[in-house]
Structure 1
Amino acid sequence: MSEIESTGPIGIFDSGYGGLTVFKEIHKYLPRYDYIYLGDNARVPYGTRSFETVYEYTKECVFKLFDLGCNLVILACNTASAKALRTIQQHDLPAGKKVLGVIRPTSEVVDQFTKTNKVGILATQGTVNSNSYVIEINKFHPEIDVFQHACPFWVPLVENNELNSEGAHFFVQQDLEQLLGQSADMDTILLACTHYPLLLPLIKKYVPKGINIISQGELVAKSLVDYLNRHPEVEEHCSKNQTLQFFTTDNPIDFNSKAEIFFGKRIESKFLKVST
């Protein structure tokens, strides 16, 4: 069967667990579709790796999802979206295949949340270094000033389920002070890493009232709904049997135990081998 004739699941890719927070929202808004989630846990973290390495790892995993029948893949990872998406879209896509990221959908609508046009970005070092959010937001909304801060300890805090630990309080308060110190008029903070929504209750404790805190999951989900409505030629090749499959490049037992924190329910994953 040719690519044009075939239907298949929507692929969701992340370097680890964080993309499950985006997947949870996508599934809530689009429950009829089939999905395959792939976490590259064996090679995490992506946030500190070079552009070339992130590109190679992301490309390999995207093509694994293509091999599993996906015609549309969502990079539910800010680092992969920042460092690999554009190159894959421009140079690597087979006919009939599409890959989308999480940065553009968020950047397009950020103006709806700010009145002062001062927006803060909390992200991994890799996403900050890429300047992707500054570039994308300024492309859509040149009137907005963007301030960035990297939070290298937040991902390990989340993955070790230390969401309310003494260390979490210390680093969240410290990083927020450093971000907010860049502008007295900042009224919006974007959590530009898919792990960070799990720290939201703690983040709210250290952010002054009146500042909007934006998580990406719902924005990406709504953007995907709109994309499928606008692109029936893509939508008709997405199968609709309400099935969910989960794959990890690491130990499935470890993945299952942590994934519930992000996805909100128990899952059963399978191992998928990648080059090391």
Structure 2
Amino acid sequence: MQTGFSSLAGPIGIFDSGYGGLTVFDKIRELMPRYDYIYLGDNARAPYGPRSFEVVYRFTRQAVVKLFEEGCQLVILACNTASAKALRSIQQLDLPQWDPKRRVLGVIRPTVELMDSMSKSKHVGIVGTSGTISSCSYQLELAKMF
């Protein structure tokens, strides 16, 4: 894979713990229609929200491995809980060993960036699973922006 998303070899993988990530998938496909996609929803083990960091990390890691095995060079975690509880560990611990050219991205940072552009008052509300909220991931990202 060369640098830059315009030269991605293989489909873009999108993962969620269930069906909710289909809204993310639809928007990504609308913005980038020339790519192929693989959507993986872990409906059998949903919801991820009340599960521990370790369990969410293990389940998310398994999904990322599966999508990489299917040829994805980029995987987007369309699940807030997976983004909050597993993304950093996968990026820092796993990707350097697997293939440093591959990427795994989450939805929290882009969501916060969108909040910044949409909120004139800089007051926002966040609704999420107990796992997402207790991780403080949104609060940490919001603190960087505001």
Query: TM-score higher than 0.5 here?
Result: yes
Q: CA deviation at 1:130?
A: 0.6
Structure 1 unaligned spans of 5+: 142-276
Q: Distance in 1 between matches of 2:141 and 2:41?
A: 26
| Helix, strand or coil at the partner of 2:89 | helix
TM-score, normalised relative to structure 1: 0.49
Give the match for residue 114 of structure 2.
Answer: 109
Structure 1 runs of 4+ aligned residues shifted over 3 Å read: none
Give the match for residue 53 of structure 1.
Answer: 55
TM-score, normalised relative to structure 2: 0.90
Instruction: Give me the identity figure in percent.
Output: 64
Are 2:81 and 1:75 aligned?
no
Which of the two has greater strand per residue?
Answer: 1
Which of the two has greater helix per residue?
Answer: 2
Give the match for residue 5 of structure 2.
Answer: none
| CA distances 1:135-189 after superposition (whole Å, capped 9, x unpaired) | 1111121xxxxxxxxxxxxxxxxxxxxxxxxxxxxxxxxxxxxxxxxxxxxxxxx
| Helix, strand or coil at the partner of 1:122 | coil
Q: Distance in 2 between matches of 1:134 and 1:19?
A: 21
1:62 to 64, 67, 72: 64
Structure 2 unaligned spans of 5+: 3-7
Q: Distance in 1 between matches of 2:66 and 2:126?
A: 31
Higher-Rg structure is 1
Aligned-residue RMSD, C-alpha: 1.6
| Helix, strand or coil at the partner of 2:112 | helix
Kindly tell me the number of residue pairs found equivalent between the two proteins.
139
Give the match for residue 99 of structure 1.
Answer: 104
Q: CA deviation at 1:124?
A: 1.0
Give the match for residue 128 of structure 2.
Answer: 123
Q: CA deviation at 1:108?
A: 2.1
The one-letter code of the counterpart of 1:63 is: V
| Helix, strand or coil at the partner of 1:8 | coil
Matches within 5 A, 1:230-245: none
The one-letter code of the counterpart of 2:65 is: F
The one-letter code of the counterpart of 1:126 is: G
| Helix, strand or coil at the partner of 1:23 | helix
Give the match for residue 24 of structure 2.
Answer: 22
| Helix, strand or coil at the partner of 1:70 | coil
The one-letter code of the counterpart of 1:130 is: S
The one-letter code of the counterpart of 2:24 is: V
| CA distances 1:85-105 after superposition (whole Å, capped 9, x unpaired) | 000000101222100000001
Give the match for residue 91 of structure 2.
Answer: 89
Q: CA deviation at 1:112?
A: 1.9
Q: CA deviation at 1:16?
A: 0.6
